């Protein structure tokens, strides 16, 4: 049995997960299969993590946080009651209480030279397939629409929509196929 589990009572760790010795895990936490936790990580009470998730260095999950399938978190604080349930990357972020982060959300934290921080305040709702381009702040109770690229701060109680207008090019496929055939 790993040294770390001698100090921790009342957690459930499923098979095929790896946890570094510098991780602190509080009671009531479930770590599902194929979870990888490395570096200085602190996990609060009654959290659920995985399967197939990565929790990386300098991350803190407060109580009752849900981290789902294929989520990666690095250098971030995730506050109480927040849910990040599917296929997301959260890096260099501070996430408030009771935030919902939809599938496919990423924090775009690196500009090619340095890392920037994303802040999401309490009770915000981040829509599916959002790219949050840091530095950016999402206010309390704010929403972002699905498929948005968020490049500016979003005020509290606002809805941010950052999408390009859809254009349908009629007949494009037929023209392309004819061009390829000739």
Cα(73)–Cα(103) distance, rounded to whole angstroms?
14
Q: Contact at 8 Å (CB) between 136 and 121? A: no
Q: What residues contact 34, with CB distance under 8 A and at least 6 apart? A: 16, 17, 50, 51, 52
Fold classification of 3-181 (topology level): UDP N-Acetylglucosamine Acyltransferase; domain 1 (2.160.10)
C-alpha count within 13 angstroms, C-beta hemisphere, residue 73: 32
CA 93 distance to own-chain centroid: 9
pTM score of the predicted model: 0.89
State residue 79 phi and psi, 5-degree precision.
-85, 170
Per-residue pLDDT, 86: 94
Number of helical H runs and strand E runs in the chain:
2, 24
Q: Which of 30, 69, 86, 140 is catalytic?
A: 86
Tell me the pLDDT of the chain (182 aa) as tens digits: 344 443 455 678 888 999 988 899 999 999 999 999 999 999 999 999 999 999 999 999 999 999 999 999 999 999 999 999 999 999 999 999 999 999 999 999 999 999 999 999 999 999 999 999 999 999 999 999 999 999 999 999 999 999 988 899 999 999 999 998 88
Annotated catalytic residue 116: no
Predicted local confidence at residue 101, as pLDDT: 98
d(CA 25, CA 153): 33
Instruction: Count the neighbouring beta carbons within 10 Å of the beta carbon of residue 15.
Output: 7
Residues 121, 139: Cα–Cα separation, whole Å: 5
Question: How many angstroms separate the CA atoms of 10 and 57, rounded?
Answer: 24
Domain boundaries, the chain: 3-181
Residue 31 host element (H or E): strand 30-31
Is the alpha carbon torsion for 9, 10, 15, 17 positive or negative? negative
Using CA atoms, how far apart are residues 146 and 30, in angstroms rounded to an integer? 29
């Amino acid at each position: 049995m790993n040294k770390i589990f001698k100090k921790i009572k009342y957690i459930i760790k499923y098979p095929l997960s790896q946890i570094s010795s510098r991780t602190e895990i509080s009671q009531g936490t479930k770590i599902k299969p194929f979870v990888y936790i490395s570096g200085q990580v602190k996990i609060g009470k009654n959290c659920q993590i995985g399967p197939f998730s990565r929790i990386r260095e300098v991350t803190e999950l407060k109580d009752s946080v849900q981290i789902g399938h294929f989520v990666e978190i690095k250098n971030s604080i995730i506050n109480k009651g927040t849910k990040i349930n599917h296929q997301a990357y959260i890096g260099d972020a501070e996430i408030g209480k009771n935030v919902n982060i939809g599938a496919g959300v990423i924090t775009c934290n690196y500009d090619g030279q340095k890392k920037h921080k994303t802040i999401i305040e309490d009770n915000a709702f981040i829509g599916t397939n959002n790219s949050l381009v840091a530095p950016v702040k999402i206010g309390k109770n704010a929403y972002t629409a699905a498929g948005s690229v968020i490049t500016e701060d979003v005020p509290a109680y606002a809805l941010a929509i950052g999408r390009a207008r859809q254009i349908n090019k009629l007949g494009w496929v037929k023209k392309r196929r004819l061009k390829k055939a000739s």
